[in-house]
Chains A and B, each alone.
Chain A
Amino acid sequence: MKKTEAIDWSVPQRQPASAIFILVIQTFWEVVKRAWPILLLPLLRSNDEGGDRMMRYEIYGIILLAITLAGGMLKYLFFRFYILNEELIVKKGWLKKQTIVIPLNRIQTVNLEQPMLHQVLNLVKVTVDTPGSDSTEVTIDSLRRPMAEDLRSSLLHQREIATATSENLPPAAVLPVIRVSSNDMLRLSLSANHLETFFVIMAFGLSLYDDLSDITGDFIGDSAGRMIPQQTFGIVLFMVIATLLITMLISTIRIVLKFYNLSVYTTATGFRITSGLTTLKERVVATSKVQFVSWRASWIRRLFNLRLFRFHLPADIQKEAKADLPVTRLEFLDILTREYYPVPDTAGKTAIRMHPSYVFRRTLLVGLLPVTLAIAIAWTWLQELSLLGLLYPLVVFLFTWLHTRKFRLFAFDEVVLIQKGLLGKEELMLKWFKLQSVEIKQSIYQRRKGLAMLVFHVAGARIAIRHIPLEAARQVANYALYKVESSREPWM
């Protein structure tokens, strides 16, 4: 690791002066994000003559600039951080002073990121993750790379002394064990969930429309109404094709943003993952901190022989999506799981399955019952049309049937392997000793039928196994407890 000079971390440190630039830009975006409808107001509402209008823009501009500059400077001046008595201490804020103290042994990962602007200024953004809640997380916006690396090694080094393990990041020259090629990107893009993208676009469009109509009245709706001529078949067809193309394009962009240049390197204690198109991101995953792993594929992705892999870490409660790793070749799955636990072979093994009565119970309780009520209420206004609601229980039935059919729980000596999915398939592998607690739940119906729900609590996640035989639930729970309570291995 490159070190210019030894930094004394026990002395409060400031970010380098070039950080002011980043902080000012950041403040600018914060102001714009919070106040953009107000900033747009003069553009949309003003009926003034040209000169007056220009004046007004200038005043707005100057106010915005002043707030931004002052905000950025204050952020810079009042931000200090240091390491004292095995604790990382960060002090920030001008009016609202804030001191964050994180014991070093609670630090989960230290991530270095380099968004585009940081790349230009040769700065690095450092985030420090701790298990559990997101509120204790710390971000140091910009540091010079040697300083950031020194900070990371100081933070992690002291933690490693505490946990008596060692972590050495490999030199950058090491070849990645997994790399996403452009061919893989194409396969991932084609097989993306375009329906989801479509809804994301819809939701974004609607919220934008809402925000705008709040300040402009229904100006947009009115003018759009005037613009659309008589709706003809041709236009509808054009709209459908255009929507499809835009959706596919945006799906592709999402995939590119997520996985561009993704490389996975092995380290002494786990993996280092780098990725990013505009923002170079780097994550370090220590295998000992991984609670469980999962990999999934929609039915289309299965056709393309693709999976999305995920390490589930305690600090990732809010940010799990970031941890998706595309598995474009089956041997990558072996590489990713090997250190945690090699995926056991399920061939010829007996699995615990869900009781078939779940399909009917769920269709009745979640499907038919609420729909009957809804139809009874809606009949007054909709008459026969409300009967369309009966499609809903059908959908519930179909989904539950598919889910029940696919579900399998395999209890192995060291791990539990759960398979589930509707049309696609998701697999989840958990080492018994990573469990935090176990629950067995029974509804009145389940008590009559000798069934139960089994719940595994893992740091940051809850895994529920519904409607399995009570006897099986008890056996799994007893075995899980035996493994947890007799284990000497640190779960974190």
Chain B
Amino acid sequence: MHFLNTEIDPAALPAVEDLNLRPVSPSYLKVLRTEWLIYAFVLAGIAAGLIFLVPGMRENYLWLVIVAAWILLVAFYRVAIERSFPYRAYSVREHDIIYRSGWILRTVKINPINRILNCSIHIGPLERKHGLATLALYNAGTSDADMRIPGLTAEEAESIRKFVLTRINEEDRSH
């Protein structure tokens, strides 16, 4: 046993690993794929610029290296999207919010609600098209969001936001 605790049996604590997490909306995969396509095009543009505008690129087979790098990057990004998607899931518990993501490095992040200072919803143009939203939770001490849960339906995001804000207010009043 790794735990040193006399009063509470660690096995009796609510465990994060036992949870049934909810997967994010399947249409978020479409958003990710479209983003991938845009990314591939932009990179292709940069690669083409390098090959045609930098002198000596075409003579020395350096263009082959650039094309290979483009294929590798784009393919890796696509594999990462496809492989990590089934793992993306979240859960809202009474006292915390959990988000699971990643492919090579898998992450489970747990954010207690009584530490959340603010909570907002972001909807990008691609997300709007599919009726999706990203929920951002802000804690203290950082300027950027501490947790972002993308791929929620707009209704889900809104209801979680309301839930979190109500809970924050309850916490504030109880102090």
CB within 8 Å of B: which residues of A?
A: 131-133, 314, 317, 349-350, 352, 410-413, 435-444, 447, 457-461, 469, 471-472, 474-479, 481-482, 484-485, 487-488, 490-492
- B9-33, CB under 8 A of A: which get 1 and which 0? 0100111110000000000000000
Measuring CB to CB, which residues of chain B are less than 8 angstroms from any residue of chain A?
1-8, 10, 13-17, 95-96, 102, 104-115, 139-143, 146-147, 174-175
Which residues in B have their C-beta under 8 angstroms from that of A461? Answer: 141
Nearest CB of chain A from residue B2's CB, rounded to whole Å: 4
Q: Choose among B5, B13, B104, B175 the residue that contacts A413 (Cβ–Cβ < 8 A).
A: B5
Structural contact, A478 and B15, CB atoms closer than 8 A:
yes
Are B140 and A350 within 8 A (Cβ)? Answer: no
Distance in angstroms between the alpha carbons of A349 and B4 in the assembled complex:
7
Q: Is A437 a contact of B139 with CB atoms below 8 Å? A: yes
Using CB atoms, name the residue of chain B closest to A472: B2
A11 to chain B, nearest CB (A): 32
In the bound assembly, the distance between CA atoms of A438 and B110 in angstroms comes to: 5
- For B2, what are the chain A residues with a Cβ–Cβ distance below 8 Å? 350, 352, 411, 469, 471-472, 475-476
Cα–Cα, bound, A317→B147 (Å): 20
In the complex, how many angstroms separate the beta carbon of A247 from the nearest chain B beta carbon? 37
Q: Is the CB of B13 within 8 A of A479?
A: yes
Also in contact, A474 and B141, with CB within 8 A (given A440-B108, A484-B115, A485-B96): no
Minimum C-beta distance from A480 to chain B (A): 9
Contact of B141 among A458, A471, A476, A490 (CB under 8 A): A458
Contacts of A475 in B (CB 8 A): 2-3, 10
Most buried by A among B104, B111, B115: B115
Question: Nearest A residue to B141 by beta-carbon distance?
Answer: A459
Q: Evaluate whether A131 and B141 lie within 8 angstroms (CB atoms) in the complex, with A479-B5, A482-B8 already known.
A: yes
Q: Which residues of A contact B141 (CB under 8 A)?
A: 131-132, 314, 317, 436, 458-461
> Which residue of the partner chain, among B6, B13, B146, contacts A478 with CB atoms under 8 Å?
B13
Q: Which of A461, A477, A478, A491 has the most CB of B within 10 A?
A: A478
Complex Cα–Cα for A459 and B117 (A): 12
Residues of B contacting A457 with CB < 8 Å?
Answer: 139, 146
A352, A442, A471, A492: the one within 8 Å of B106 (CB): A442
Chain A residues near B105 (CB, 8 Å)?
Answer: 441-443
A442: chain B residues at CB < 8 Å are 105-107
User: 8 other contacts beyond A460-B142, A478-B10, with CB at 8 A cut-off?
Assistant: A437-B115, A441-B107, A460-B141, A476-B2, A477-B110, A478-B13, A478-B14, A484-B112
| Contacts A132-B141, A436-B139 given; does A441 touch B106 at CB 8 Å | yes
Partner of A491, one of B8, B107, B115, B142: B115
> What chain A residues lie within 8 Å of B113 (beta carbons)?
485
Nearest CB on A from B128, distance (A): 29
**In the bound complex, CA of A422 to CA of B57 (Å):** 48
In the complex, A352 Cα to B4 Cα: how many Å? 10
Please name all residues of chain B whose beta carbon is closer than 8 Å to the beta carbon of A411 when the two chains form the complex.
2-5
Most buried by B among A131, A352, A436, A477: A436
Q: Report yes or no: B16 in contact with A478, Cβ–Cβ below 8 A.
A: yes
Q: Is A438 in contact with B6, judged by CB distance below 8 angstroms?
A: no
User: In the complex the two chains form, what is the Cα distance from A86 to B6 in whole Å?
Assistant: 45
* A482-B107 contact in complex given A437-B146, A437-B147, A471-B2, C-beta closer than 8 Å: no
> Are A447 and B106 interface neighbours, CB within 8 A?
yes
Partner of B4, one of A350, A435, A436: A350
CB neighbours of B143 from chain A (8 A):
132-133
A481 with B3: CB separation less than 8 A: no
Q: Which residues of B contact A469 (CB under 8 A)?
A: 2
Q: How far is the CA of A487 from the CA of B96 in the complex (A)?
A: 13
In the complex, which residue of chain B has the Cβ closest to the Cβ of A352? Answer: B2
A482 near B140: Cβ-Cβ < 8 Å:
no
Q: How far is the CA of A474 from the CA of B1 in the complex (A)?
A: 12
Least CB distance, A491 to chain B, in whole angstroms: 7
Could you say which residues of chain A place their CB within 8 Å of the CB of B110? 437-439, 477, 481
Other-chain contact of A482, B14, B111, B139, B147 (Cβ < 8 Å): B14
State in angstroms the CA–CA spacing of A460 and B148 once bound together: 18
Once bound together, how far apart are the Cα atoms of A258 and B89, in whole Å? Answer: 49
Q: How far is the CB of A107 from chain B (nearest CB, A)?
A: 14
Looking at the complex, which one of A314, A410, A485 makes contact with B140 (CB distance below 8 Å)?
A314
- Known A444-B104, A488-B174; judge A474-B15 contact (CB<8 A): yes
Measured CA separation A410–B56 after assembly (Å): 61
With A and B bound together, what is the CA distance between A458 and B7 in angstroms?
Answer: 25
> How far, in angstroms, from A366 to B13 measured CA to CA in the complex?
37
Give every chain A residue within 8 A of B108 (Cβ-Cβ): 439-441
A479 to B10, CA, bound (A): 7
Contact A436 B10 (CB under 8 A): no
Q: How far is the CB of B125 from chain A (nearest CB, A)?
A: 29
* Least distance between B167 CB and chain A CB atoms (Å): 11
User: How far is B2's CA from A410's CA once the two chains are assembled, in angstroms?
Assistant: 9
Q: How far is the CA of A337 from the CA of B3 in the complex (A)?
A: 24
User: 5 nearest interchain CB pairs?
Assistant: A459-B141, A472-B2, A485-B95, A460-B141, A459-B140
Is the Cβ of A440 less than 8 Å from the Cβ of B140? no
Taken together as a complex, chains A and B put the C-alpha atoms of A314 and B139 apart, in Å, by: 12
